[in-house]
Amino acid sequence: MAEQRTYGFIGLGQMGGPMADNIAKAGLPVHVFDAAGTKERAHEKAIAHDSLAGVLANADTVFLSLPDGPICTTVAKEIVQVNDRKTSVVIDLSTIGLAAAQDIDKIFTDAEITYIDAPVSGGRKGAIAGTIAIMGSGPKDVFDSHMDVFKAFAKNPFHVGEKPGQGQVVKMLNNFLSATATTATTEAVLFGLSQGVEMKAILDVVNVSTGMNTASLDKFPNQIMTENFNAGFFTKLLAKDVRLFRENSDKAGTPNAIATLVSKIFDGCEKDMPGSDFTVVYKYIRDGGEKKIG
């Protein structure tokens, strides 16, 4: 019988914490570290370390869940500098953009570490519930060999391509679509309200008609109409994701007129309402924030 693979998890924040918890709760051995403090964030069944090196010395595969490309790149460089390293595979669950994923892949390839670019979608609530989607790119055989651990924290693990960064591509376009649905539905609902139609009536019709989308099905009835504004994903993060889509589509030479406008809206929302959940873009647009961006 083959020896059980051991896992590491770096980054126990809004998304990383719940994902690492679900790996631990599944009974899989997971060594964890967070630079902001590990013990208070680690699940009781996880093995907490006070350094990155401690995780690398014990884990065959290490997951990263970090805020952005520069931080992921810095951590990648730190990983390859650790000599006492058991780790041979790094799976990056962060949303960092195409160029960063390609740069990090080169860092790891030079150190003979296999890199899987695997951003996730589903927000914090999905991470807690274990229902998120994974968009993985890299060697398919390596991706497939991790299906057991993926299933511990994700409902829908997809392999989307062999090239590093292709996972980022799918994540960026997905989050751009999500942001666009939210802004477009906000404008549509506000028009209906201005004519005296109740929000519930608008959503009831739209959700069985051709305008149906994730915002009308979920965000509006559960977060905006109820005034919860707590979908579990920060405005700052979605603004970053749409900005990445716009920047990368610029480089690819593909159309992005809508992305440019949506990016300005979310950047403005984050500036006016820092630390907010992204569903407050409804308030931002309603209260005239959209007009400020020109």
pLDDT in tens, 39-98: 889 999 999 999 999 999 999 999 999 999 999 999 999 999 999 999 999 999 999 999
Where does the pLDDT of residue 293 fall: very low under 50, low under 70, confident under 90, or very high at 90 and above? confident
Q: Residue 196 pLDDT > 50, yes or no?
A: yes
Backbone torsions φ then ψ of 154, nearest 5 degrees: -140, 140
pLDDT in tens, 122-166: 988 899 999 999 999 999 999 999 999 999 999 999 999 999 999
- Whether the per-residue pLDDT at 220 is higher than 70: the answer is yes
Predicted confidence band at 2 (pLDDT cuts at 50, 70, 90)?
A: very low
Q: What is the pLDDT of residue 4?
A: 84
Q: What is the pLDDT of residue 292?
A: 74
User: Would the pLDDT of 294 be above 70?
Assistant: no
Compute the mean pLDDT over every residue in the chain, rounded to the nearest whole number: 95
pLDDT of 228: 96
Q: How long a stretch of residues is the chain?
A: 294
pLDDT band at residue 1 using 50, 70 and 90 as cut-offs: very low
Q: Which residue segments constitute the domains of the chain, with CATH numbers given?
A: 7-164 (3.40.50.720), 169-289 (1.10.1040.10)
What integer pLDDT is reported at residue 39 of this predicted model?
87
**Residue 291 confidence (pLDDT):** 79
Mean pLDDT of 235-244: 94
pLDDT at 289 over 90: no
Closest CA to 6 of 132, 157, 158, 146: 146
pTM: 0.90
